[in-house]
Amino acid sequence: MTTDTTAVQKQDIRKLTTQQLKDWLAQHGEQGFRAKQIVEWLWKKSATSFDEMSNLSLKTRELLYNHFEIKAITTATSQKSNDGTIKSAFRLHDAHLIEGVLIPATDRMTACVSSQVGCSLTCKFCATGYMDRKRNLDAAEMYDQVAAIDRQARENYGIPLSNIVYMGMGEPLLNYANVLESIEKITSPDGLGMAPKRITVSTAGIAKMIKKLGDDQVRFNLALSLHAANDEKRNQIMPINESNSLENLAEALQYFYEKTNNRITFEYIVFDKFNDTIQDARELWEFTKKVPAKVNIIEYNPIAEAAYKNTDATRLEQFARFLESKGVIVNVRRSRGKDIDAACGQLANREKAA
């Protein structure tokens, strides 16, 4: 592809709406219907260069190349766990690294994607929480993770993605507009066409943004990383709780449910001798009564930065049985990809961005 000699500041083409692209093409003597073709290449076919757009003339492709760029992510490294989980480090256009994970199971193929480079929250048990937040990801960068992990699922298992969880690096609700835009692209028939009910956004608990999700009447699922159902304990491991107390979160979740009719998922890591007693289970049960919910009990994955340990199997079983005896829907989630630091709470790129 030849380069224009005039030093044009190239624009990120995926920031344009279809109408904006159509108007731009018209201004440059191109037919408007080309916009739809280009948008299909960018989103549905996940093209990473204008050369791939084979149904456009060479002249049109050169015009696009001279004025626009596609800031696609690239796969820097991939590791495959003994259990089949695949963790990838994705390099962004500005050389930052983020991580995404493919989690295969008998009944689903799940992509775990990141929403920020690093994280501005400081949850004490999470490796990402010990990183600085460098910046938010834009919608296209989150979309690219999903498209890349979908390709991995097809290439390694012959099965497309069935589920997406925004549970990687970062706090999704502190990157609200971009996260929602990425989901809009992922669920659009002009994008990946996935059902919103197959997507879960996980938050550490930003009450006002949970209410905003309700106001926007989102159709995807919401999960709250709870991990303790009393403020004193939750403050110790999740400083965000000091400004978003359990009372405030309960009110926000009730509001969200009234607006969307979507049941909440509470994620609860059972730490050894910290939040694994029957009294802790009782407090969790009391909290679940505030809003229709189910509980995912998650195995803890130790990290070098923290001294927390996973509870033993007996205490975990007793904890789960107590909740079930009270009518709570409980799923015990076993760790996947622990041997390659791909499990929940372990994502923290050890490689430095160039």
Q: What are 109's strand-pairing partners?
A: 104
- pLDDT for residue 132: 83
d(CA 13, CA 80): 33
Give residue-wise pLDDT tens across range 71-95: 999 999 999 988 899 999 999 999 9
Residues of each domain in the chain carrying CATH 3.20.20.70? 74-340
State the Cα–Cα distance between residues 246 and 207, nearest whole angstrom. Answer: 9
What's 54's DSSP letter?
Answer: T
Q: Please give the share of the chain, as a percent, with pLDDT higher than 70.
A: 92
Rounded to 10 degrees, the C-alpha dihedral 342/347/348/350 comes to 10
Residues of the chain with CATH 1.10.150.530: 11-69
DSSP classification of residue 33:
T
Residue pair 145/111 in contact by the 8 Å Cβ criterion: yes
Task: Identify whether 112 is a catalytic site residue.
Answer: no
CATH hierarchy code of domain 11-69: 1.10.150.530
CA 210, 213, 218, 220: dihedral to nearest 10 degrees?
-30
Point out the catalytic residue in the list 112, 123, 126, 344: 344
Out of 99, 141, 267, 299, the active site residue is: 99
Q: Is 344 a catalytic residue?
A: yes
The percentage of the chain sitting over the pLDDT mark of 90, rounded to a whole number, equals 81
What would the pLDDT profile of 7-44 be if each residue is shown by its tens digit? 568 999 999 999 999 999 999 999 989 999 999 999 99
CA dist 199 and 182 (Å) reads 11
State how beta strands 221-225 and 199-203 pair. Answer: parallel
Pairing of strands 68-69, 329-333: unpaired
Q: What is the C-alpha to C-alpha distance for residues 223 and 172, in angstroms, rounded to an integer?
A: 11
* pLDDT tens-digit series, residues 252-277: 999 999 999 999 999 999 999 999 99
pLDDT greater than 70 at residue 216: yes
Render pLDDT for 149-191 as a digit per residue (tens, 0 to 9): 999 999 999 999 999 999 999 999 999 999 999 999 999 999 9
The CATH class for the domain spanning 74-340 reads alpha beta
Does the pLDDT at position 344 exceed 80? no
